[in-house]
Structure 1
Amino acid sequence: MQVRADRVSLEGHHGTLLPPTSLTVGEGDLAIVHGEPGVGVTAFGLALAGRLKPTTGTVHAEGGDAALTELVAVVDAPGVSEPDDALPLRVVAGEELALAHRPAGKEDVARWLAEHDAAPFAGTRFENLTPALRTRLLTELAAERKGVRVLVLDTPDRHTSHVESWLELAREQAGRGLAVVVLTATTPASALPGAPARLGSAEQPAPEHFAPEPTEPPKSTGPTEPPEPTEELATSTDGDPA
């Protein structure tokens, strides 16, 4: 499955939000996209998710029948999907689990937070979480949604200057077989790994690809053939009789 954006542009009331931009990302891919700070970065993420209709160009999924709105989750988009900073983590997690049509009762939330090493922060206001924890939990919650095959992390660099805090997370999700797009704006392009894709460009570098994590082969429960005797074993059994 691939999501392909072909020369997508968006015009706002006061001018161009997004100049024509192309990007193709498939399962197991990680694409880092760089643009100038502003609403254009988020607009591109929303266009990828089918939540904004491009003024020009097209966005479509290849190799699947589901709509973009079901395939693509936009994580922590400013003013769109970012949580209310005043809410405690357990409330945010409960809302996200409910959105994913997962069990979202009090015990369910507590169990999910424990499984993701976040139980001690259940009552912490969301704005007081560390940037790395914030991005990790929101990404994991988005990945819980049924049918989601593409994650768009919207400017995690606005919370921290430490690229590694979100880069390893993005690579981990790509390694699970998801397509991952990270939108960046405040980090200098020179500080990003490799050459990022750029808003306003139709020619983009290939995304980083990660093979799916290997799974252990099923253990055989049937009978096994005895090993063939080695030359040494055959010689010893043909030796002097007892």
Structure 2
Amino acid sequence: MEIVATGVEVSGAHGPLLAPTSLRARTGQVLLVTGDPNSGRTALALTLSGRLRPTRGTVRLNGAIDATALRRTVAVVDAPQITEPDGALALRDVVAEGLSLAARKSGRRKVRDWLSARDWLREGAGEERFENLAGYERTRLLLDLACENRTTRALVLDCPDRHGGDPAGWYSLAARHAERGMAVIALCAPHSADKLGMPPARIGADNLEMSTLDSAEGLR
């Protein structure tokens, strides 16, 4: 599977939200995309997933312009104020909501089984407030939930570095899902890509000539 954005830009009521950006993401690979906080990272995530129509430019899924197919195929993970869970919710409630959105059974037993299968059932873990999770654990849980939807083939991870911690942690999770057959786009700040030592695509640039990183190469 391939997602290709060509010259996508988004304008809002008070000015530009996303400068013209071109990039390519493929199954089995992780693409880092960097931009400053006001550069339109979330606007790009929503555009790549068919949830926001670009003012100019195109997003193609396997060569076709099809926003419905993009919405079905691409999951936006942890977008601030959009897909991020309410931090006051208990962990079990976040999982129940995620399973329900993925058209999975989400009763108490199913939630408990889901948490147990992923080693989350330490004492009292189900009642823990979601906002108390460390950044790595938060990202791990939300990526796993996004993959519960049977139609998900691509993941756009929106600014996981805003939760702190070593970027190698969330990058390793992104690479793991790429190895399992997902296309993964990770939006982050420039200093996170610098710390990872990897050449990123950049918001506001034509990145079609750059090669995405094979997830098997990870942080080697």
Give, in whole Å, the separation in 1 of the partners of 2:17 and 2:188: 16
Q: How many residues are paired up?
A: 211
What residue is the counterpart of 2:101 in the other structure?
A: 99
The answer to whether the 8 A contact 2:135-2:165 is kept is no
> In structure 2, do the counterparts of structure 1 residues 193 and 88 end up closer, same or farther at CA, with 3 Å as the change threshold?
same
SS in 2 for 1:84: coil
Q: Which runs of 4+ in 1 moved over 6 A?
A: 63-66
What residue is the counterpart of 2:3 in the other structure?
A: 3
TM-score by length of 2: 0.91
Larger radius of gyration: 1
What residue is the counterpart of 1:191 in the other structure?
A: 195
The answer to whether the 8 A contact 1:32-1:183 is kept is yes
> In structure 2, do the counterparts of structure 1 residues 101 and 39 end up closer, same or farther at CA, with 3 Å as the change threshold?
farther
5 Å matches for 1:38-187? 38=38, 40-62=40-62, 67-120=69-122, 121-185=125-189, 187=191
Q: How far 1:165 moved relative to its partner?
A: 1.4
Gaps of 5+ in 1: 212-242
**Deviation sequence 1:91-118 (CA, Å, 0-9, x none):** 0000000111111110000000011111
SS in 1 for 2:40: helix
Give, in whole Å, the separation in 2 of the partners of 1:105 and 1:186: 41
The answer to whether the 8 A contact 1:2-1:62 is kept is yes
TM-score by length of 1: 0.83
Give, in whole Å, the separation in 2 of the partners of 1:77 and 1:186: 18
Match of 1:174, as an amino acid? A
Give, in whole Å, the separation in 1 of the partners of 2:84 and 2:56: 27
RMSD: 1.7
The answer to whether the 8 A contact 1:157-1:186 is kept is no
Within the candidate set 187, 209, 213, 1:208 is matched to: 213
**Deviation sequence 1:156-199 (CA, Å, 0-9, x none):** 00001411110110110000010000000273442233111000
SS in 1 for 2:32: strand
Gaps of 5+ in 2: none
SS in 2 for 1:8: strand
Bigger relative contact order, structure 1 or 2, given CA contacts below 8 A and separation 6+?
2
Give, in whole Å, the separation in 1 of the partners of 2:207 and 2:40: 18
Match of 2:214, as an amino acid? H
**Deviation sequence 1:186-220 (CA, Å, 0-9, x none):** 73442233111000011352111247xxxxxxxxx
The answer to whether the 8 A contact 2:45-2:76 is kept is yes
**Deviation sequence 1:49-99 (CA, Å, 0-9, x none):** 000000100012006887100000000000100000000000000000011
Give, in whole Å, the separation in 2 of the partners of 1:14 and 1:50: 22
The answer to whether the 8 A contact 2:136-2:170 is kept is yes
Identity %: 46
5 Å matches for 1:208-227? 208-210=213-215
